Structure 1
Amino acid sequence: MSTLTSQPLTGTPETLTLANALNAGLRRSMSEDDSVVLMGEDIGSLGGVFRVTEGLQDEFGSDRVVDSLLAESGIVGTAIGMAMRGYRPVCEIQFDGFIYPAFDQIVSQLAKLRARSGGRLTVPVTIRVPVGGGIGAVEHHSESNEAYFCHTAGLRVVACANPDDAYWMIQQAIACDDPVIFYEPKRRYWDKAPVDVSISPSAAFPFERARTVLPGSDVTVLAYGPTVRVALDAATVARSEGTSLEVIDLRSLSPIDVETISASVRRTGRAVVVHEAPTFAGLGAEIAATITERCFTFLEAPVQRVGGWNTPYPPARVEDQYLPNIDRLLDAVEITGRY
């Protein structure tokens, strides 16, 4: 099953991990545009905590792959100034929970400058954020904070789930004139899949569109980032027991591709949203409300949400009890009446 390939392979595909695909995408963007500059803690000689930027400083120099101070607010603030002078900075936040010192720069400045200037200024800053749990990390290393940024007008928020999307979406984010929060599921960094690096970027699937990664007829399952794999695994179990799940990878979290979601739910009549973040005021709540508004007369059951529990992220030894898994997702499918 080739459900994790985001587009037809036209050349000789390379099998890459998600981390390697991001590295290749960054390299291609930097090769094609001298204004692309990488900034972050330990991204140069070390290549980043997850080695996503490995080798790039050797290739492009320390002026374009900048080892910054341990100061997230300073990283983003500097990137904003550079973007206003014509650069396309790509900032790396080492871990999801480290982004909060930069929160004011992101929501008060980065997100607002284009509107504040009446469209005269663009700030094409991409902020890469390794996100989510599942790697046995300590506190502040396993958070899912996408709801904060999806709520902030002026930001695009996207999440890749597989190597092919990682390769193309990072290039699309860098080329975008809007600021982009780019989430990378850290427990999927080592997943491998074919990536066709030979096609033109214009032929890549648009990063603002959701994608149906597994067609189905009984229940629509909406996932993104680390939970796409969970949804696909649950669909395999459900299929063996006679239930057909349609799995949609949202990819863009803000804006959301409402048309693709609505078309699926109108066919299946049922929907489950799954994410690692707590369900209370999470992105799943917005999606459930949107489905109810757009598809009310088509729904056969209330939209179900599966997420992390409404607690701070737990110690690593019990994180498996916190994260959404196949059983919890299928329990939600059962509530809809189709399992």
Structure 2
Amino acid sequence: MNKRAFNFNAGPAAIPLEVLERAQAEFVDFQGTGMSIMEMSHRGAVYESVHDEAQKRLLGLLGAPVGYKVLFLTGGASTQFAMLPLNFLTEGKTAGYVRTGSWSDKAIAEARLIGETYIAASSEDDKFMSVPDLHQLQIPENAAYLHVTSNETIEGTQFKEFPDTGSTPLIVDMSSDILSRSLDVNRFDLIYAGAQKNLGPSGVTVVIAREELLQNSPKHIPTVLRYDTHFKNNSLYNTPPAFSIYMVNQVLKWIEEQGGLTGIEALNVKKADLLYQAIDQSSGFFRGCVAESSRSNMNVTFRLSSEDIEKKFIKESEQEGFVGLKGHRSVGGLRASIYNAVPYDTVKALVDFMAEFQRKNG
């Protein structure tokens, strides 16, 4: 294609052009079957090979940890907010949550409907413009788990490291930064993520968990909401989002081609550094929202001197082909989501536009 949008959408978000082109080539006739992968049975050998390959490839990118299982589910992170306490927050237990902003708040609200919860740490006093220190957490003996949101998409904060929770399961929502950096999966008991930011299109939710956590869900909760249902059926209990899983597999291949998580992380740091430097070196014309130590490499949030000048920035950026730079309606401002698939040249184009906008309006 001659012209692609400069896509900074927060999700659904950019997908690598190479992946889209490969999918386009296979869209009508997948592997000589005379069918699209969207048309074939999820019980057939052709689809199951893609399904299994995607699971294996994802674990491979994470270092092939022993004793972990990948589930492909639906309902996004929002369904996981409820599934987690339904499966793990049993009678006599309490669930710990680290409160860091909009998405952690949604997870907490769902858990409170199910059972006893407590706030293990919070950055509310800083208006969620930083992440709290998790080194000195006090975890009660009856803790069911500790839940952390690794990256707050709306506020633009990100944890750089995670706590040691001992025997208490550490559960992390990585919806907006999964596979964006090197990761020791063995430090986590369960990771979940909606695919529509770094893994592919919307429609599939990935869960990566220790197998022992998935094997014995309470029997009084609905069958489709039990992790053991999906574990025992290899995520094929009901019809999976087949095309989304196929696309995830294609994105995972693309990540391998970029040098795996090491290569992806280096590129993501380079992109984030370029954009944050443009903000910090603008003599106050652009202002970063988040404390420097807590800045996200995925969602860069910033402000201008007034809402009027921000509206002008959005209008003119859209005229130049930039998409998705308006901040979330709950916080306002500006946001550039620079996920894995956003090319460096796209970020460079934004930085150049910002410099020209400042020259005209500073």
TM-score of the pair, normalised by structure 2: 0.33
Higher relative contact order (CA 8 A, sep 6+): 2
TM-score of the pair, normalised by structure 1: 0.35
Larger Rg: 2
